[in-house]
Chain A
Amino acid sequence: MSAADTLVQLRYRFLPDHVVGEVLSKRWTDNAIPFIALLLTLAVFGSVNPGMFTAFGMYDLAGQIAEFGLLAIALTLVMISGGIDLSIGSVFALCAMTVLTALNVYNLPLPVAVGITLGVGAVCGAINGVLIGYLRLRAFLTTLVTLVMFRSIYEMVLPKFATQIVLGMPDSVVWDELGFGSFLGLPYAFFLSALIALIWHVVLSRSRPGWHIAAVGGARRSAHNAGINVRLVVCLTYVFCGMMVAAAATLFAARLTSVGTDTGLGMEISVLTAVILGGTTLGGGRGSVAKALIGSVIVLILTNGLLQLGVIGTVSALILGVVLLLAVWLDVRWVKNRQKLIDSSYVSPAYIKLTESVNAAENPVYAVNDKLRDVQTIGLGEVEGPEDVAVDRAGNIYSGSRHGEIHRWLAPDFTRHEIFAHIGGGTFGMNFDKDDNLVVCVGGMGLYMVTPEREVVKLTDETSRSLTSVIDDSRIRLADDLDIAPDGRVFFSEASIRYTVHDWPVDMIESRGNGRIICYDPRDKSTKTVLKNRIFPNGIVCLPDGESLLFNETWACRICRYWYDGKKKGQVEIVLDGLPGYPDNINRASDGNYWVCLVGMRGPALDMMMTRPGLRRRMTRRIAPANWIYPNINTGCIIKISATGEVLESLWDKGGVNHPMVTSCKEHEGHLVIGGVSNNRVGRWKIPGADPTWSSPVDYWGAKQ
């Protein structure tokens, strides 16, 4: 292998493309860009403004964050549900005035004053909520109008109390401490806000009401169809928004103890900037408390920093406006392109140099013949996609189907059949255990068992999650074939953790080690992964030695032996490499050898492409999937090998009339029963010279007492 090849191999092995998509599919990546922006802002303004990280600077900032953060959370609530509230500045002013009037003018006790203030906030929110939620007015226009109305009320009422507010002095230690006290160098208001933020975080991310809000914002109609009371949810978000604004206004009032005509003026723009900078989407459905807080800190540092740099207020507002526009643009691009990026980086080809294949010219055993021509066809058109077959002690044939059924074709002539069991999912590899239960691999579902009484029992559908995976790979997606060890342990292959039954050949374009071999132990019902990163592990057969098994790695065109017990426990050896096709299932033959089905054949052009992962990646991005190069699974054959990997004979259906592709075959009483995953029939072929008494259940478990 050339040095360039090695580089390519390393690049695609250790920097696989799909990791980008997997990382992007994590919800926390949503916060990555705002978080980087926060660090940048901190770095820039921290260096130009040395006062920021001093004790006083932190105290001051924390106090502002306490109020501003609550406002941002309030707006986030509304925006997650798909709305917007522009009236928060006016409500803020109204509430600040209310609490100060209640305390300074009427000398009400603090809890009553705060209660009244929250009530005022709730009423203001409820007005918005009813108009928008129940009367279905546009959020933007409605809150624009209420912004003006609340502000008018504020300006009408303010002159009546302004002087008294300044002159009055509430008699409350708590109020003073809230405004001026500190704990651990930070104001009490900060801890109060942190607590409220924590509660909202839990509500939004981990409770039913929170999910309802996100559901309404994400897809209003779907939320309605799912039984959510959309109008109520929308209305309540405005009510809670108003109450949160009231809480922020209370903290503000405690800190400044006065209100003026400019209180809360233009606040909606800076809060909106903070929320959108944090990554909450204008369209709804996406947002969190963490996003709101990140955005708040950025905006506060920005405005404070600009103030201290001597930038006048109007210019600062202009800058904030530009930042808002930038944030909106970024948000739109991010939402639009993230899923595209995830999708386009899904197929992630790896470098694989297949061992040169042995063809018919070098080994005549592979010459195409028509030995399978006189096959008996069973269930033509009645079964779709029998990937695997099994034969019970009575000689009845069982086959899977893509409809998730197990058909039973009744001996002796197999013209009659019945649905033995319906499981759902594609039914793949199947074998009988010692109690005559039919253990089945079910695509998309896991490992199942059907008892002789036709009861369907789930054995396992998840294994341990691997430590290094970005995404959760514990669920079993494509259980493919199984065999049962003498002690009852079920070894089964999961061909790929990245592709399901519908697009399993696409895994070939990757040819990455996406598969694993899993062991299910019925004694303690445990499931654990015994071999990882195998290239489409497919057929499995346990050897009679009771300590090892043979398994096929389809896209690697090889057959390996794995020791699950004994002296060589845990070791894997390649038994047969460089097959001319892609091995699927492997099963015992009556003469002590093994039948291996080749689901498709190799071609030189594809073999060459396998060493060029970049080329295959471009192919998947540039052209439609129906035009992608595939393994040639239109032609297949059956070969017989010895346990040591010697190829003894090959069986073909020249012309491909009955069995163009073969995924499975099982020997029973001198006949070979044949299945194919995209075929519409089961075949039964008389093996010349085979032992007419040999049957698989007897070979595995002995004659029935």
Chain B
Amino acid sequence: MIAAFRNRIDAFLGRGAHSTSVPVMDGPLQPNHALDHAELFLNADGVDNLVDLGGALGFSSGARLMRAAGGTAEEIASFEADIACLASDGAGALAVGLDGAGIVLRGGAHDGRRIEALGGAKLICPTAALFAGPDTLIVAVGSEQHACTEWKRDLMALGQSGSVWRVDLGSGSEDCLAWGMGFPYGLAADGDGIVVSEAWRHRLVRLGKSGAGAVTPVLANLPGYPARLAPAHGSGYWMAVFAPRNQLVEFVLRETRFRQDMTAQVAPEFWIAPALSSGDSYREPLQGGAVKQMGLLKPWAPVWSYGLVVRLDADFQPVASWHSRADGTRHGVTSVCEHGGRLAVAAKGPGELLLMDEVTITGEVV
């Protein structure tokens, strides 16, 4: 009763849970232009889901599974729907998530096996997968209502129907490790637990392998929406952050009626919402700080899209970051993967696959 009353007051005054403040990028997240200066490896529409194919770099481009070689890419396979996630067990088996159509396995002992539903619900939004053993697959389900390509709609509907599952490929048994999540988007194995990036809540959480359903935040209050996680050479992890948080978006998320009307009546690319790329159409909304002055767009301008790769230490705390800011275009990084001593970065916004020299925690090039 008191809590509800206080919530009403907070809503009126715009504080507490209704505060629109956004954490600043500071410390290890201090902005730079490193992504804009990174080497362009190749262009591919909708490049996503980088995976190490045992020496070669695999990635998805729409519904096609590609293998990068030199400056070009060749198609390995193509599917009936856009590839939503990829996971390799490092021994030839590949789990391929398909947007709206579940997961299909290629190669290995379970070749051809499909996972079309989990816990009785149709699997339409497989956002990430991870082999926890030759027969065990961890699957992140972003949403029960919206497919992966509809992620923006899920965010603007305040989606919290995400879940994480452990599937035994041999017996077919499924355990729900966590549910009620705000778009889990990335998975990383951490000792005997699993760390999940929960995009809509701007945080990384640890799940017990036991499936007790308890989540423990390990890194919270991020200035952006985290996407895929990848293990780093030596120790630590890479985190892709696919869009920035923005005060105006936070505000709109709290304005229920306007948010519902906007999502119902306006085309998604023109919403006041995060995006993988922006500035393509004059019908997109614009914020005061993003007005070009003397022919220049300020790098600090508030934007809908941003490029950010973060290096995490073994405790999932950020230690370094690579950015593409408002005046750059390499936005919407959804996936990273170490490859040949360098870091491959998939900027899904412009459809560019980038290569960066890997940098360790102490700063030297590996």
Q: A629-B286, A634-B291 are in contact. Are A605 and B262 (CB under 8 A)?
A: yes
Which A residues between 581 and 628 are near B, CB-CB below 8 angstroms? 581, 600-606, 608-609, 612, 615, 618-619, 621-628
Q: Which residues of B contact A142 (CB under 8 A)?
A: none
Contact with B along A656-691 (1 / 0, CB 8 A): 100011000000000000000011110000000000
Contact across chains for B294 and A384 when beta carbons are under 8 A apart: yes
Across chains A and B, the number of contacting residue pairs, with CB separation under 8 Å, is: 110
A612–B282 CA distance with the chains assembled, in angstroms: 22
Q: Which residues of B contact A628 (CB under 8 A)?
A: 248, 287-288
A621 to chain B minimum Cβ distance, whole angstroms, is 7
Q: Which residues of A contact B294 (CB under 8 A)?
A: 384-385, 678-680
B289 sits at the interface (CB 8 A):
yes
Nearest B residue to A626, CB-CB: B289
A237 sits at the interface (CB 8 A):
no
Which B residues between 96 and 151 are near A, CB-CB below 8 angstroms? none
A536 to chain B minimum Cβ distance, whole angstroms, is 16
A456 sits at the interface (CB 8 A):
no
B74 sits at the interface (CB 8 A):
no
A376–B250 CA distance with the chains assembled, in angstroms: 43
Q: A623-B247, A626-B302, A678-B293 are in contact. Are A609 and B258 (CB under 8 A)?
A: yes
A632–B246 CA distance with the chains assembled, in angstroms: 17
A601–B246 CA distance with the chains assembled, in angstroms: 22
Nearest B residue to A627, CB-CB: B247
Contact across chains for A632 and B265 when beta carbons are under 8 A apart: no
Q: A660-B295, A680-B295 are in contact. Are A606 and B247 (CB under 8 A)?
A: no
Contact across chains for A627 and B289 when beta carbons are under 8 A apart: yes
Contact across chains for A601 and B287 when beta carbons are under 8 A apart: no
A143–B286 CA distance with the chains assembled, in angstroms: 61
A604–B273 CA distance with the chains assembled, in angstroms: 13
B179 sits at the interface (CB 8 A):
no
Contact across chains for B284 and A615 when beta carbons are under 8 A apart: no
A680–B297 CA distance with the chains assembled, in angstroms: 13
* Residue of B20, B266, B290 touching A605 (CB-CB under 8 A): B266
Contact across chains for A603 and B270 when beta carbons are under 8 A apart: yes
Q: Which residues of A contact B258 (CB under 8 A)?
A: 608-609, 612, 615
B267 sits at the interface (CB 8 A):
yes
B255 sits at the interface (CB 8 A):
yes
Contact across chains for A601 and B14 when beta carbons are under 8 A apart: no
B322 sits at the interface (CB 8 A):
no
A421 sits at the interface (CB 8 A):
no
* Residue of A619, A621, A630, A678 touching B286 (CB-CB under 8 A): A630
A506–B288 CA distance with the chains assembled, in angstroms: 9
Contact across chains for B255 and A605 when beta carbons are under 8 A apart: no
Contact across chains for A629 and B287 when beta carbons are under 8 A apart: yes
A635 sits at the interface (CB 8 A):
yes
A581 to chain B minimum Cβ distance, whole angstroms, is 8
Q: Which residues of B contact A661 (CB under 8 A)?
A: 292
Contact across chains for A630 and B295 when beta carbons are under 8 A apart: no
B261 sits at the interface (CB 8 A):
yes
Contact across chains for B285 and A618 when beta carbons are under 8 A apart: no
Which B residues between 149 and 189 are near A, CB-CB below 8 angstroms? none
Contact with A along B268-285 (1 / 0, CB 8 A): 001110000000001111
Q: A615-B255, A635-B282 are in contact. Are A605 and B272 (CB under 8 A)?
A: yes
Q: Which residues of A contact B246 (CB under 8 A)?
A: 627
A660–B247 CA distance with the chains assembled, in angstroms: 26
Q: Which residues of B contact A506 (CB under 8 A)?
A: 288
Nearest A residue to B286, CB-CB: A632
Q: A619-B248, A679-B295 are in contact. Are A627 and B271 (CB under 8 A)?
A: no
A256 to chain B minimum Cβ distance, whole angstroms, is 56
Contact across chains for B14 and A624 when beta carbons are under 8 A apart: no
Q: Which residues of A contact B41 (CB under 8 A)?
A: none
B282 to chain A minimum Cβ distance, whole angstroms, is 4
Contact with A along B294-317 (1 / 0, CB 8 A): 110100011000000000000000
Q: Which residues of A contact B283 (CB under 8 A)?
A: 601-604, 632
Sample of 28 A–B contacts (CB below 8 Å): A368-B282, A384-B294, A506-B288, A603-B282, A603-B283, A604-B266, A605-B262, A608-B262, A608-B266, A609-B258, A618-B251, A619-B248, A623-B20, A623-B248, A624-B247, A626-B287, A626-B301, A627-B247, A627-B248, A627-B289, A628-B287, A628-B288, A630-B287, A630-B288, A633-B291, A656-B292, A678-B294, A681-B295
- 3 smallest beta-carbon distances between A and B, as pairs: A626-B289, A635-B282, A601-B282
Other A-B pairs, 4, CB within 8 Å; known A603-B286, A604-B266 = A384-B294, A385-B294, A622-B14, A630-B288
Q: Which residues of B contact A (CB under 8 A)?
A: 14, 20, 246-248, 250-251, 255, 258, 261-262, 265-267, 270-272, 282-295, 297, 301-302
